[in-house]
Structure 1
Amino acid sequence: MTFSICVHESVADEADDGDDEREPDHHDRFGVAVTTRLPGVGTLCPFASERGAVATQSLVNVELGRRGIEYIDDGLAVDDALEALLNADHNAPRRQLHGVDADGTFVFSGEGCGDWYGHLEGDGYTVAGNLLTGESVLEEVADSYDSSDRSEPLSKRLIDALAAGQAEGGDKREELSVQSAAVVVRTTEEHPLDPSYNDLRVDATETPIADLRETYDLAQEGYEAAMERYEESYEADRREGEASEVEEN
């Protein structure tokens, strides 16, 4: 099921004015982006939470992604979580499974995956693919992410990484016209309203990356417009929710 990237970023928050000696807090971002020459990849491959990100592909087993995230959320390290799932999977040689948590990475490509297949690991990210035109596809995905501007939203940069891999050749099955792409980002950052551009998919098209990028642009514009118009209401709603939690405790 083509190629994907999983990412973890830890970003320091700015210290409050007048409190420069305080160690800055940080927030974590976890994201997955994937594309393939089949429809509906966003329903099958990418999984993310505020503690990790996982992609399951090749001969897809959705439970590997779903349970992998559950295990990470329960406190297991990503390598322990995904290795345990593969050890119990009799079709493991036909799987690709990779992911990240706050402390590490894990990548697996079974010997039964379709050529060209492979994976790589970087600082806080993993990339994997199968049925590709070559290894350079993954290298371009990684290079795009490595050189991205960290001040831009992670979801945008992940779409750009997919575009780099697609431009390098991507999935070699040119006879398949229906394609799909998806991006999912979860973050511990606090927002009055969760950004809608952090969970997007294009399920059936001949131009998946271009369509996903257009969907992102529209979602970002819509989110910014909604925040400009309704930010005070969203903020008041959040404070009311926090007050209710305090009363219950």
Structure 2
Amino acid sequence: MTFSICVRETYEDDDGDEQTRFGVAVTTRLPGVGALCPWASENGAVSTQSLTNVRLGRKGIEYLDDGIAVEDALQGLLNADDNAPARQLHGVGHEGEFAFTGDECMDWAGDRAGENYTVAGNLLAGEGVVDAVAEAYEASDRDEQLAKRLVDALDAGHAEGGDKREDLTIQSAALRVATTEERDPEPYYDDLRVDATETPISDLRETYELAREGFEAALEKYGDAYEDDDMDAVSDA
């Protein structure tokens, strides 16, 4: 009922220190996907879907935060889940990738694991949806914000037919990005949800663009206060 992507990227911050960021983005032909499927922290990104078990995502991230490798964390959760054949679960940690599609997931269902990313989907128009998401991400410009590139990847899958249930018009989409870098404040555009709409990807893109514009405006107006953690630094508030 969903397709999604999880990614891991290393980069240098403004001080020249190496950091790692994780991102997850998801869309489906049902409302509220952001409340159920995508999970991310400074230690990994996970998406739980198909016959969705929220615990797999929540506990998966907790295990990654505890230092457990992504394959061990997610496979261990599936081993303890009696309905594992109906689940789809995938993600990335600091090292490695993991993708699982149970035999009872509804066609078309499948996944793809590449270097530093995973993509999975079920009830799709076909395998081309997953491939389009992966290829759009692989070709993306690393100089652009990860949140934007995740929206672009979802858009590519949507263009290939996406979720095939055209009778369900109320849809949703969401993204989350987390990083090992200490950021204050956290960018508004790295945790976004569109919970109920007929145009989830375009709405998520517009939300991202407005959130980034608003974040930049807030930094311009209140940057000194954020840096000093002191409202006395605010001028013309």
Query: Please, what TM-score do these two structures have when normalized by structure 2?
Result: 0.95
Separation of aligned partners in 1, 2:138 and 2:212:
23
Which runs of 4 or more aligned residues in structure 1 lie more than 3 Å from their structure 2 counterparts after TM superposition? none
Q: How big is the shift at 1:187?
A: 1.0
Q: Report what 1:8 is aligned to.
A: 8
Structure 1 portions without partners, runs of 5+: 17-23, 239-249
User: Is the contact between residue 192 and residue 231 of structure 1 (CA under 8 Å) also seen in structure 2?
Assistant: no
Q: Which residue identity is paired with 1:235?
A: E
2:172 counterpart of 1:180: yes
Secondary structure at the counterpart of residue 167 of structure 2: coil
| RMSD of aligned alpha carbons | 1.1
Secondary structure at the counterpart of residue 186 of structure 1: strand
Secondary structure at the counterpart of residue 126 of structure 1: strand
User: Is the contact between residue 13 and residue 181 of structure 2 (CA under 8 Å) also seen in structure 1?
Assistant: no
Q: Report what 1:196 is aligned to.
A: 188
Structure 2 portions without partners, runs of 5+: 231-237
Q: Which residue identity is paired with 1:133?
A: A
Q: How big is the shift at 1:188?
A: 1.7
User: Is the contact between residue 29 and residue 171 of structure 2 (CA under 8 Å) also seen in structure 1?
Assistant: yes
Secondary structure at the counterpart of residue 99 of structure 1: strand
Q: How big is the shift at 1:13?
A: 3.8
Kindly tell me the number of residue pairs found equivalent between the two proteins. Answer: 230
Q: Deviations over 1:111-136 (max 9, x none)?
A: 00010000001110000000000000
Query: Please, what TM-score do these two structures have when normalized by structure 1?
Result: 0.90
Separation of aligned partners in 2, 1:189 and 1:168:
35
Q: Report what 2:109 is aligned to.
A: 117
Question: Any residues of structure 2 matched to 1:79-94 within 5 Å, and which?
Answer: 79-94=71-86
2:53 counterpart of 1:51: no
Q: Report what 1:126 is aligned to.
A: 118
Which structure: larger Rg? 1
Separation of aligned partners in 1, 2:176 and 2:140:
17
Q: Which residue identity is paired with 1:177?
A: T
Greater mean deviation of Cα atoms: 30-39 or 190-199: 190-199
Separation of aligned partners in 1, 2:56 and 2:50:
12
Separation of aligned partners in 1, 2:110 and 2:135:
16
Separation of aligned partners in 2, 1:130 and 1:138:
9
Q: Report what 1:39 is aligned to.
A: 31
Question: Any residues of structure 2 matched to 1:208-219 within 5 Å, and which?
Answer: 208-219=200-211
The percentage of counterpart residues that share the same residue type is: 67
